[in-house]
Every structure is written in structure tokens, then in C-alpha cells.
A and B are shown apart, each in its own frame.
Chain A
Amino acid sequence: MLDYSEPVAKLIDEFKRLPGIGHKNAQRLAFFILRRPKEDVERFVEALHEVKERIVFCNVCNNLTDVNPCLYCTSPARARDVICIVEEPYNLVAIEKTRSFKGLYHILHGALSPIRGVGPDELMLANLFPRLSPENNEGVEVAEVIVATNPTTEGEATANYIARLLKPLGIRVTRIAMGMPVGSDLEFVDEVTMDKALTNRHEI
């Protein structure tokens, strides 16, 4: 027998599919929804609907967008000779906030992780290669690919895998540096970060 009537059990089940949500939290969310006014719930459903209806993966860079290709890929203000590879759309957002990168992006939607069943075929990587030919890039040759995957073992493996594919094609592949957060006092940097920063030191 179910603990709750069928519609409630079904809702709990759906919440449990969300990342990071266990049974307890799923119950809390379900009961939160049950107590909301009908208009609120409808607005929520509408938002879910709309996001699935209108948001697609950009054909070129895999960014989430409501116009295809996305605004980054079609912007005349972006430098077309450098592509920055990130794991997730929110990594792109973080880089954009710096305003210091003016090139194009490519989003993998994940990183290599055999434990989670993510191999090269599960990454959105295949559509990177056509982009490297000038005829598919408004006549511009891609001179550099910056790999900005996370500094985890999974992110490193992904970066390494991509470098192995691109280097034979004669493209310059670079990895973003890891280390000290700027504006922080040396005293307050943890040893692991300091270690990375020392390893990645450069000539001045």
C-alpha cells in the first residue's frame, strides 16, 4: 500500500528524480506545493512548460538559448578565432561576468566520469570539430581553444582528452590557470590552493 494517495505519491516520486533531492526533501516539497494557492502552482507549471518549449541547445555551441544559434555565436562583437570550452552553462555565465573574455564558447554539458557512466560520447563534443573549419566560422580560422573545465580530476581528464583530439589538428590548446583567488590575503589561502598556485607560477 502507498503511504500517500496516488497523486501525492506520484509528485513525491517526481521530486525525487531531481538532483540532490532525497525522500524527505521530496515529501517537504510536495507538501509545500499542496499548500500553495492554485495560481502560484499554475505559474510554476507555466514556467516549467515555457522553459521546455522555448529553450533549446544552440546548434553551434550547445548553450541554452531561445534563439538558435545563440546570441554569442551570432554576435559581431565576439572574436571568432578563440573558443572557450566549459562544462556547464553556468560556467559560461561566470566567465561572462568577468567581461575579460570576448571569444566564443563551447559547452560540453558534463565532464568525463566513468563512475557516472559519462564517456566521450555522452559529452556534447562532436559539434566542436566542424566549428574549427573557417567555412563554418564566417571565414575565420580558430587559432586557440581554451579549456576551462573544472579543476577536478574529472575536469582534468576532460581537458586532457580534448587536448589529445585537438593537438594533432595543429590547434593551440590552452588550460586556464588554477590558484590564488585575487583580493585575498596570502595568509588566508588554504594550503591546497597555495600548492596549485605555486605549481602554476609564472615569470614576471
Chain B
Amino acid sequence: MLLERLEALNFRNLSGKIECSGHLNILFGENGQGKTNWLEAMHLLSTTKSFKTSRLKETICFGEELGIVRGSVKKSAEITHELQVALQGNSKILSVNGKKETVQRYLGELHAVVFNSDELEIVRGNPDARRKFLDNGIVAIYPAFVQTLSDYNRVIKQKNSLLQSALDHDYSLEKTADLLAPWNEQLVSLASRIHKARVRFVERLNTVLEKKLFGREEISIRYASSLEGRGDLGDYAALIEERLKFRVQAELVSGHALIGTHRDDLEVTFDGLDLRKFGSSGQQRSALLILLIANVSVYFEQNGEYPLFLLDDVDAELDYRRIGQLLEFLNGKTQTFVTTSKDSFVERFSAGSLVFSIVGGHPELHRT
């Protein structure tokens, strides 16, 4: 897939359009001029979500009814799709070639992977950031997984609510177990599917992982099930079923669902050490990029094309040596967009790329 052109209307402070390069695009400008807003627009066009806010209303230009982001995506030599996300209040209207589409259908049109400071949570934050990284990666190659995740979350929510009221009303252990049974039965089958999908996805990441892309340390990843050491993970369904039965009392006492894939983690280590605890901030950034690149490669294996790679404020997060290695690796693979506020960055990396100066939200192609 190739984003040929991107336009924004009443979205943040943006105006005008970007005619993109299929390789590297550098969005260059002072802070506050709107470089990141352009990446946000691309992210919106691809995922229908902003990476800055969950309230899309905030992104519409003040005083305007409708915010629009629109782009031409070349699907093949002869097929180009015109994508549009129109924002009105907090609701959005998605269309492809002028025809309204459901989110589910729309999502296959354009895929993007983002590197920014929020994504650093994956390597230094809580397990939920890493589970989300895995789940998003799986959904990108297997869209029906969305339903499994949402059913699972619903079951956990219902279970928590049930356990809470069991606690409030002093239900007996037996009664609680009885009431939990229909939810636990679904939990077993949904958690088994999630466990299997995540283990398989981590295996796939592992086969393409560029373990030493940025240095001497070797990055390794492993899916860490919360049921590890509790029995045979090879028969996950039987194991979790047994654990759920065994832990009813603990769940009742805590008032929370304690067993399931919502307690799992992705273990990331460098030379065998826990990256989150012992990694320097540079090592964490390198590891994050290695993970994102692996994600991109798995996506390519599955779909035969690369997603867009969006790198926000790349020079604040990475030194030039790493940036050079990264861009070299991505060259000829992904269509890449980076933002920077440094002249030296442009000087060093602009060969073979398009550079856009962003002033007051407006992009101007740099002639060199």
C-alpha cells in the first residue's frame, strides 16, 4: 500500500496537502507548527483513531462543524482508493471512493505502525501496554480477533461485577461458583483462543526479530502466561478450567477475576536481563523499534505489503546512529514518515527523500 496524497480540512491547524514519497518523507518544522498533527492525520486515516486523544471532537478546528482527513491509497498498479474520515462532534463517517463504509471494512484499507513517546510504554510500562501491542498486531493480520477480544473483555467485566455483588451480599462459595460457571465456561474458550493467538504471534515475531539491529546486546521476547508453573500450558483449556475451579474462593475474596489472559505479559529481555527494570532508555528505545519492525515484517509476511511507518519526533527519542541504521533497514520496505525540528537531521538523512516544511500547519515541499 502506498499513501500517495494526504489532505486535511479543519483538522487541528492543518491545511493543504502532502504529495508523498513512497520511501522516506521528512516533515520538518519548529515545535507547535503541526508536524505531529500530520502524523496524527495519517494515523486517523489508517486506524480511524487519534494517537493523541480519545475525544475526536478536540481535533476539529475550533468553530467548525466538520473536520476531514482524506487520502489516496494506491492498492496496486491500477487500483487507487480514495479514503476519507469525516469527523462531526465525536462521531465519524468513513468512506472509500465516496461510499460510506463500516469501521470493520474500512480498517483493511490502510495500515500504519507508530513510534512515538507513548509507545515507549510497551518497553517500560505495565503489562497491559504489551498485551495491547500483541493484540493490535494480531488484529492487523486476523481482523476477526477483534470480536474474541471484545467478548473476552465483556466476560471479565461481567465476572468482576458478579464477584463484587457476591462479596457485597455475602454469597456462599457454592452459590458463587454456580453463578460464575456460565461465565467461566466462555472465559475458558475465549482465553484459550487468545492464548493460542498470542503465543503463535510471538513465535512469528521471533522468527523475524532483528535481535541485534542496533548494538551488541541481544533482544529476546517470550510470551509469559500467568498460568506458567501451574500445569501443562500445552493443554491450556484444561489448565485454565482447573485453575478457575481451584481459585473460586480467592476470586470471591478479592472481588475480581484473577485468572485469564488479562494477567499475561510479553517478556522482553536484553542479554537475558529484564529490559523494563535494567534497560537504559536508549536500550528501551532500540528494543521498541526492534519490536515494531518485527510487527511490520509479520504484517508483510501475511499480507504481502508493508504498512506505513510513522516516527514522531524521532531525533528526541533516538541518536543519529540508530536513526541511520533504522532508515537503512526500512529503505525499500515501508513508506516512512518522520518528524523532526532539526536542520542537521534534514541535512544528514534527506538524500532520496521528500522534505516538507511545516509552517502554521501548512506543508511546503522543500526543493534542494
Contacts and interface: CB of A to CB of B under 8 A. Distances in A.
A114 B182 contact: no
26 contacts: A112-B182, A113-B158, A114-B159, A114-B162, A115-B157, A117-B165, A119-B179, A153-B155, A153-B158, A153-B186, A154-B158, A156-B186, A157-B158, A157-B182, A160-B182, A160-B186, A161-B181, A161-B182, A164-B181, A164-B182, A190-B102, A190-B104, A190-B105, A192-B146, A194-B144, A195-B147
Interface residues of A, number: 21
Nearest to B183: A157
Given A153-B151, A153-B155, A115 B182 contact: no
Contacts of A156: 182, 186
A69 interface: no
A191 interface: yes
In the complex, the 5 A-B pairs of residues with the closest C-beta atoms, listed nearest first: A114-B162, A160-B182, A157-B182, A114-B161, A191-B144
A164 B177 CA distance: 13
A120 interface: yes
Interface in B164-191: 165, 179, 181-183, 185-186
Interface of B: 102, 104-105, 143-144, 146-147, 151, 154-155, 157-159, 161-162, 165, 179, 181-183, 185-186
A115 B161 contact: yes
Contacts of A164: 181-182
A157 B303 CA distance: 36
A155 to B, nearest CB: 11
A158 interface: yes
B185 A160 contact: yes
By secondary structure, the B interface counts as helix
A197 to B, nearest CB: 11
A192 B144 contact: yes
A191 B104 contact: yes
Given A114-B162, A153-B155, 8 more contacts: A114-B159, A115-B158, A153-B183, A157-B186, A160-B181, A190-B102, A191-B144, A192-B104
Interface string A177-199: 00000000000001110110000
Contacts of B151: 153
B143 A191 contact: yes
Contacts of A192: 104, 144, 146-147
A173 B219 CA distance: 52
A115 B179 CA distance: 13
A125 to B, nearest CB: 13
Nearest to A198: B144
Contacts of A114: 158-159, 161-162, 165, 179
Contacts of A120: 179
Nearest to B104: A190
A153 B154 contact: yes
A158 B158 contact: no
Nearest to B155: A153
A199 to B, nearest CB: 10
Nearest to A195: B144
Contacts of A154: 158
A115 B159 CA distance: 9
Nearest to A161: B182
A113 B151 CA distance: 13
A195 B158 CA distance: 24
Contacts of A157: 158, 182-183, 186
Interface string A143-185: 0000000001110111011001000000000000000000000
A173 B151 CA distance: 24
A156 B143 CA distance: 22
A161 B105 CA distance: 35
Contacts of B104: 190-192
Contacts of A115: 157-158, 161
B178 to A, nearest CB: 8
Contacts of B162: 114
B159 to A, nearest CB: 8
A119 to B, nearest CB: 7
A152 B155 CA distance: 10
Q: Which of A112, A120, A157 neighbours the largest number of chain B CB atoms within 10 Å of its CB?
A: A157
Contacts of A112: 182
A67 to B, nearest CB: 34
Contacts of B182: 112, 156-158, 160-161, 164
A161 B184 CA distance: 11
A114 B105 CA distance: 32
Contacts of B158: 113-115, 153-154, 157
Q: Which of B105, B159, B182, B185 neighbours the largest number of chain A CB atoms within 10 Å of its CB?
A: B182
